[in-house]
Structure formats: C-alpha cells, structure tokens
Amino acid sequence: MIRRRLGTRLGVGERRSAHVALALTAWLLALIFFFPVFWMVLSSFKEEQDANTSPKLFFSPTLDRYRDVTSNPEGTLAFGDAATNSAIVVLLSTLIVLALAIPAAYALAIRPVPKWRDVLFFFISTKFLPIVASILPIWVLANHFEKLNTLTVLVVLYTAINLPLAVWMLRSFFVEIPRELIEAADIDGAKLRGQLTSIILPIAAPGIAATALLCVIFAWNEYFYAVQLNPIEGSTVPMWVTTNISTRGDFLAKLSAASVLACIPVVLAGWLAQKRMIRGLSMGAIK
C-alpha cells in the first residue's frame, strides 16, 4: 500500500479516530478564526449596500471597490504613496531596531553588564507610558524640531516602540548560543564586530528573522502615531485605510477592499515566514 510506504502519521498504538477527531478540531477552529478575514475579503467584492445589510454569501462580485480605493484624485493620499511611506518607515525602523538591539542584547546576554536585569526591565518599562498619553509631548517635540509630517519622526518612534521587544527577544536567543563558541572566538582573536558578524548573527539568524518580522508587523499596522503626527506628508497605509471611513454614508465594502490591500504585505510576509518564525521563537528555550 502506498500509504504504508509514505509512513504513517499515527504514533504506535494511537487510535485513528482520535487522530481524525483532533485534526478536525484544528480545522474547525482554524476556519472559525479565519472566518472574519474571509468575510472581509468577501465584503471587498460587494456593493456598499450589500456589505451593510443582512449577511449575503452569494452576490455578484465586483472589483469596483478596489478601483474606488486605488483611483484616488491627485492631491489626496494614494495607496502607492502610502505604501511607499510605510515600506520606508517599516524597513528603516526595523533595521535600526536590529542595529541597536543586537549589540544591546549582546551586552545583556553574552557578556552581561552588571545589573542587566534592571536594564532589561528599563527597556520593558518604556512601554508603560500609554501611547495616547505620550502623543502630547511627542507632538510638542516633533513640532518644535519641525519633524511633523516627516518619515523621520515615524522611523524614530517605531524604533522606540519595537526596541524593547527586540532587545528582549534577541537577548533570549543570544543566551542560547553555546558559551564556548563565544570563548573560542575570544581566544581566536575576534573582536565584538567579528564575533557578531561571524558567530552570533549567523547562529541566531532564525531568531533575528522572527524578531524582525514581529517588528515589521507592529510597525506596519501602527495607526495612532501615524495619523496624529503625519496627516499631511509621510502618511502611511493605516491612515490611507481609514480615509475610507465616513460618518455620513456606507463605507464597509470600500474599507474592506482597502484593508485587504493594506494587509496583503504583512499577511504574505507572515504566511511565508511562519515556519521560520516558529523555529526562530523556539531557538532553544526562551529565557
């Protein structure tokens, strides 16, 4: 039998019925979780009136909403511009996060500084100030330095937002690197840069990739700072999505179409990277 040749998925003594039941449960839960997304995609192909009425599974699909949201007049925020801005902000901030967090994690994990726990805690504690509260001084500062409506301000803020997460995660990955490797590199004469580039980064690459992906997701979807600080220039995708919200008229189909477009990059990145991400997260025990 072919099945036999492929090897059974069942463990020894495991009942087929139990296996099937568990698999079905997983499928069922997955479908439930995915349903709202599915529904959003469905709505994006509807007419506005059909999106905001009793649930309809069957309708004549239209691409008009996609046309609506992408064909914006000159002078308003275009999807392309927003996506470009988002890409720059997300990529630059993620790169800076890694550039800052990798040496920091080194100093917290591989050659821990005295009181490294306090330092780590400090990084985490920077996330305690409610974003809605921090917007005030940040707006004042950005205004003072004339950085409102620039990509710079978002790059800086997203770096700050993601830095604690990255330091925390990278530290836990670095802790897992066999200490002897670092010592061997020490004796072999590698300095900090050599150790990072030749030894630590290649080994921790899956973990770094997982960290970077999380940073990308959080930065890509960030809305509050983006809309408060960059309503004119340097606007990002989330702001573009919400320009489709109206208080005097239907908008759900348009919003769905915009959301689908907005989510595609991270959803694709997330889908493609999920295995690596799990592997990255499981790099040894997270400590």
Footprint of other proteins on 142-171 (CB under 8 A):
143, 148-149, 151, 156-157, 159-160, 163-165, 167-168
DSSP letter assigned to residue 72: P
The answer to whether 199 and 133 have CB atoms below 8 angstroms apart is no
Q: Is 186 in the site for other proteins (CB under 8 A)?
A: yes
Residues of span 12-71 touching other proteins by CB under 8 A = 19, 22-23, 25-27, 29-31, 33-37, 39-40, 43, 47, 49, 51-55
How far apart, in Å, are the Cα atoms of 157 and each of 18, 132, 136, 239, 287?
49, 13, 13, 16, 27
Residues 259-278 binding other proteins (CB under 8 A) are: 259, 262-263, 266-267, 270-271, 274, 276-278
Q: How far apart are CA 198 and CA 175, in angstroms?
A: 17
Tell me the closest approach of the beta carbon of residue 193 to other proteins, in angstroms. Answer: 10
Q: Which of 92, 215, 219, 261 is the binder for other proteins (CB under 8 A)? A: 92
In three-state form (DSSP H/G/I as H, E/B as E, the rest C), the secondary structure along 48-66 is: HHHHCCCCCCCCCCCCHHH
Total residues in contact with other proteins, by rule CB under 8 A: 162
In the complex with other proteins, which residue's Cβ is closer, 1 or 146? 146
Q: State the minimum distance, in angstroms, from the CB of residue 142 to other proteins.
A: 10
The interface mask with other proteins, positions 97-116, x = CB under 8 A, is --xxx-xx-xxx--xxxx--
Q: Which two tokens stand for residue 253?
A: 């189909």
CB of 216 to other proteins, least distance (A): 9
Q: How far is the CB of 59 from other proteins (least distance, A)?
A: 14
Regarding 234 and contact with other proteins (CB under 8 A), the answer is yes
User: Residue 130's closest CA among 234, 22, 236, 224?
Assistant: 224
Non-local (6+) Cβ contacts of 110 within 8 A are 174, 175, 177, 179, 182, 200
- Shortest distance in whole angstroms from residue 32 CB to other proteins: 9
Place of tokens 């995609």: 41
**Cα separation, 111 vs 104, whole angstroms:** 10
Contact between residue 232 and residue 143 where contact means Cβ atoms under 8 Å apart: no
